[in-house]
């Protein structure tokens, strides 16, 4: 029985075009105890493959984290399947603000140690003792409170293109890095400040809020459903939007526009730009921000070296990559040394120390 994806991204894209069906992009997560993640993973793959679900799904003993797309006319069957699983019945589904039939081109269901790489030892604190969940309106009210410190729990390349007005945006490459930095920089404000957190869909804040309460923070709040649900409520209820720019997403779309503001700049020329791309040189594949002019001039590449390699015949490129891993620059997510307008390092909590 097939338990893994067999089609290439190009083959899948062609099938999607031929099908001519509108697809929905959505995400959800749920913390729960799963005794046999591998068996659960296989069951999900079989069922979701039959529904033409595509996406990236992580399963662990602690729960599930899913970002996916499916034909709109299969949504009811998909929802019925979720409801047939005890811990997923009526789970909140974050429907994408901007739809794209090509948001995912493969179905990947993977068993992981954790559904978010937080690096925490969950046995040392109560992961169910979470912060107070806030709606969009409640979040806005808390954001306006002068006694509030609002912290973006995402990584630097996410917040670079969009964040809440006045939010602290940790200059980190991973979620785990931000946990210690925030605790250290707010150590003198554990009791007198409201710690208000947000992320893309809410999952990172679920664990972070419990962690910070364990660390002694008294007033911990989180945006329920993250930026995705916030935007839905803003649009549905006519609430003031306090998010500026784009919301970074982890699929082929790379971002959803929340406001018309462009707060980032091209990493190569410095012009206003908030479009993330991957370097066309497969041996590099660096994620960075590139405007249309630089895209044309650099042939979709991040450097002259990569441009030269990308211009070589495919077989020559393949031979150069043989036995070589990706450059360490790939993990810098737009902060490679050769990008003159990469995001600057800075002290994120400087205002609190004045």
- The residues annotated with a catalytic role in the active site are 199
Query: Which residue, among 287, 226, 290, 221, has the nearest Cα to 258 in the 3D structure?
Result: 226
Query: Which residue, among 89, 81, 96, has the nearest Cα to 23 in the 3D structure?
Result: 96
229-235 — which CB contacts under 8 Å span 24+ positions? 229/92, 229/94, 229/136, 229/201, 229/202, 230/136, 230/139, 230/198, 231/97, 231/256, 231/258, 232/94, 232/95, 232/97, 233/135, 233/136, 233/137, 234/136, 235/97
For the chain, give percent helix, strand, coil, nearest 5.
35, 20, 45
Count of Cβ atoms closer than 10 Å to residue 149 Cβ: 21
Which token pair is 70?
């499916």
> How many angstroms separate the CA atoms of 10 and 27, rounded?
23
DSSP letter for each residue of 147-160: TEEEEE-S-HHHHT
Query: Which residue, among 279, 276, 305, 303, has the nearest Cα to 290 in the 3D structure?
Result: 276
Which token pair is 273?
């730009």
Rg from Cα positions in the chain: 21
Q: For 14-25, what is the HEC assignment?
A: HHHHHHCCCEEE
Burial, 9: exposed, middle or buried (Cβ in 10 Å; 0-12, 13-18, 19+)?
Answer: middle
Give start and end residues of each alpha helix (H) in the chain: 9-19, 37-50, 75-83, 136-144, 156-159, 175-185, 203-214, 226-237, 292-297, 304-310, 314-321, 350-353
């Amino acid at each position: 029985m097939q338990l893994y994806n067999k089609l290439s991204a190009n083959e899948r894209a062609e099938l999607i075009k031929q099908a001519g069906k509108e697809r929905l992009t959505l995400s959800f997560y749920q913390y729960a105890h799963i005794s046999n993640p591998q068996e659960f993973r296989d069951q999900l793959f079989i069922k979701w493959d039959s529904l033409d679900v595509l996406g990236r799904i992580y399963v662990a003993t602690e729960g599930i984290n899913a970002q996916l797309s499916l034909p709109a006319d299969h949504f009811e069957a998909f929802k019925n399947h979720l409801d047939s699983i005890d811990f997923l019945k009526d789970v909140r589904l974050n429907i994408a603000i901007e739809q794209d039939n090509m948001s995912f081109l493969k179905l990947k269901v993977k068993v992981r140690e954790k559904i978010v790489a937080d690096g925490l030892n969950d046995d040392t604190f109560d992961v169910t003792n979470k912060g107070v969940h806030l709606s969009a309106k409640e979040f806005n009210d808390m954001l306006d409170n002068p006694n509030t410190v609002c912290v973006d729990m995402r990584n630097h390349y996410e917040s670079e293109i969009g964040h809440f007005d006045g939010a602290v945006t940790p200059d980190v490459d991973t979620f785990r890095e931000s946990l210690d930095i925030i605790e250290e920089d707010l150590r003198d404000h554990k009791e007198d400040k409201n710690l208000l957190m947000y992320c893309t869909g809410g999952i990172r804040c679920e664990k972070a809020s419990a962690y910070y309460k364990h660390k002694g923070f008294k007033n911990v709040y989180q945006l329920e459903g993250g930026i995705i649900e916030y935007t839905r409520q803003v649009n549905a209820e006519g609430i003031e939007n306090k998010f500026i720019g784009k919301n970074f997403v982890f699929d082929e779309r790379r971002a959803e526009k929340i406001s018309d503001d462009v707060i980032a700049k091209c990493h190569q020329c410095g012009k206003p730009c908030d479009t993330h791309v991957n370097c066309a040189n497969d041996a590099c594949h660096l994620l960075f921000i590139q405007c249309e002019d630089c895209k044309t001039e650099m042939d979709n590449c991040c450097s002259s070296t990569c441009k030269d390699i990308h211009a070589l015949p495919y077989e020559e490129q393949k031979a150069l990559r043989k036995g070589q891993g990706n450059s360490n620059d790939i993990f810098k997510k737009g902060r490679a040394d050769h990008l003159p307008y990469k995001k600057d390092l800075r002290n994120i909590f400087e205002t609190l120390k004045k």
